[in-house]
Amino acid sequence: MAPTPAPEPEHLEWKSLPQAEIERLIDAEADRNGIEKPQGYKVSFHYNADVESHHFGKTHPMKPWRLMLSKQLIVGYGLQYAMECYQSLPATRQELARFHTDRYLDFLGIVNPLNMEDWKAERDRFGFGDDCPVFDGMWDYVSLYGGASLQAARTLMSHEADIAINWSGGLHHAKKSAASGFCYVNDIVLAIQEMLRHHARVLYVDIDVHHGDGVEQAFWSTDRVCTLSYHKYDPEVFFPGTGGADETGPPHSRDEGAHHALNVPLDDGIDDEQYGDLFRRITGAVIDAFDPGAIVLQCGADSLGGDRLGRFNLNIKAHGACVAFVKSRCHDRPLLILGGGGYTPRNVARTWCHETALAVGAELRGTLPAHIPYRQAFMGEDNGAGLLYPELHNIEGKRHQNRHSPAGLARLVENVLTQLRYVRGAPSVQMQELPRDYSRARAEAEERFQEELMEMDGVAEGRRRRKEKNVGGRGEFR
């Protein structure tokens, strides 16, 4: 009879542990959860820890610290052993300029807290203010999360991975020449542009509580990208006030983008069962009708119950069920998974850890390991009692009245299905030139295109060398 294992301590002072002991604990946790590289497909994880150190301001709801918490949970469970982990490089000015205007990028690169008063007119013009403040290291921050999404997209397009993850990305509100909604650079648009070089169609799905307006606007006039956004909608009081059911692309059917902007506007308080049913019925139909070559999924965690800015009553596993469903319907299509909103950091971390596990096909135990750094952030009844999956749908004082009816939800489904009748019949969903106003890279000369390919070859070689230094599969290099 095997001896009963010693009970795990409730908390370990990880800072005082030797590195060898930390690695032993993580290995043991990975064994306990059966963490192995998935069979039949590859998952890559793209991250640069420098993104964690930036700060929007003491009272600002966006906390890049949530990325550190997410990373610590992912590493603490040993999920890195199931993925190829890359340290991403910052995006270059030239890469960001494939979507954003030169004047806007000039401003991002020069303004800082010490000189911001000299740039008041530009701050107003480019959307800076309470939501999008000027802060130290702003250019580094945007180039870091933008670079991670670009690297993830290229890893998919080079068939080095089937699923690529960048939790620092997914900042869907940024416009071509304006910051918006805590977003300064639209890494999603940049990644989709990269994917369009290899695929005729890309599907973008957004489960953030806020409408994915920046991505929708960027691809408004093309039928090569279909955007599908599930979000809280109230044009009077809830940001950004767009994404109504009648906003389906350009109004004229002759415009190629008509019927390719799909919106699922929701009211307060939607629950797990309603959201899951809605997501499966609509997203499945969109995948079938649009038949994308690649899929991008934005996993904003502000749609969870109890979020500081959210209005839904979703639990972590219901949010993750959307990731699992899209993964199940990819059928050999590359899948890019990105972060997004989320303003209760401990629950953002729990959710993105869970969804990383879903990507690699792992099941995690529900009690957070004792060796995880900053575990105290997850302790106490108000913080989830040290659990990976605390109940979020019924938090006292934070539960929102459910304002949905079966009839109203059925109308949302029918509205999208009506739009899909036009998508099925669209004659121009083939490889075609993208509109000039959204992608200057597509309009540049063939010489520039060849230069970019040569640059990419150099990046791929550097990525190969970094990969060789990676830990690999669990036990593979030990």
Which tokens belong to 47?
A: 């991250």
Residue 86 marked ligand-binding: no
Q: Which amino acid is at 452?
A: E
Q: How many other β-carbons are positioned within 10 Å of the β-carbon of residue 128?
A: 23
Which tokens belong to 33?
A: 């959860």
Q: How far apart are the first and last CA of the chain?
A: 30
Q: How far is CA 427 from the centre of its chain?
A: 31
Which residues have CB under 8 Å from 351's CB, separation 6+?
299, 301, 304, 316, 319, 320, 342
Q: How far is CA 455 from CA 95, 185, 194, 450, in A?
A: 11, 22, 14, 9
Which residues have CB under 8 Å from 296's CB, separation 6+?
188, 191, 192, 195, 202, 203, 204, 205, 335, 336, 338
* Contact in structure between 143 and 187 (CB atoms under 8 Å): no
**HSE value, Cβ hemisphere, 13 Å, CA-based, for 205:** 26
405 torsion bin: left (phi>0), alpha (psi -120 to 50), beta (else): beta
Residue 302 marked ligand-binding: yes
Active site residue 173: yes
Residue 181 marked ligand-binding: yes
Residue 339 marked ligand-binding: no
Total length of the chain: 478
Q: How far apart are CA 100 and CA 106, in angstroms?
A: 10
Scanning the structure block, which residue is given the tokens 């069920």?
Answer: 321
| For residue 240, cis peptide bond before it (omega within 30 degrees of 0) | yes
Q: How far is CA 419 from CA 243, 247, 257, 299, in A?
A: 15, 11, 12, 24
* Contact in structure between 139 and 117 (CB atoms under 8 Å): no
**Which class for 161: exposed (0-12), middle (13-18), buried (19 or more C-beta within 10 A)?**
buried
Determine which one of 46, 100, 172, 173 is catalytic.
173
Q: Using CA atoms in the order 329, 412, 356, 156, what is the torsion angle rounded to 10 degrees?
A: 50
Binding positions are 131, 181, 208, 210, 302, 343
- Residues annotated catalytic, as ranges: 173
Binding positions for a divalent metal cation are 208, 210, 302
Binding positions for substrate are 131, 181, 343
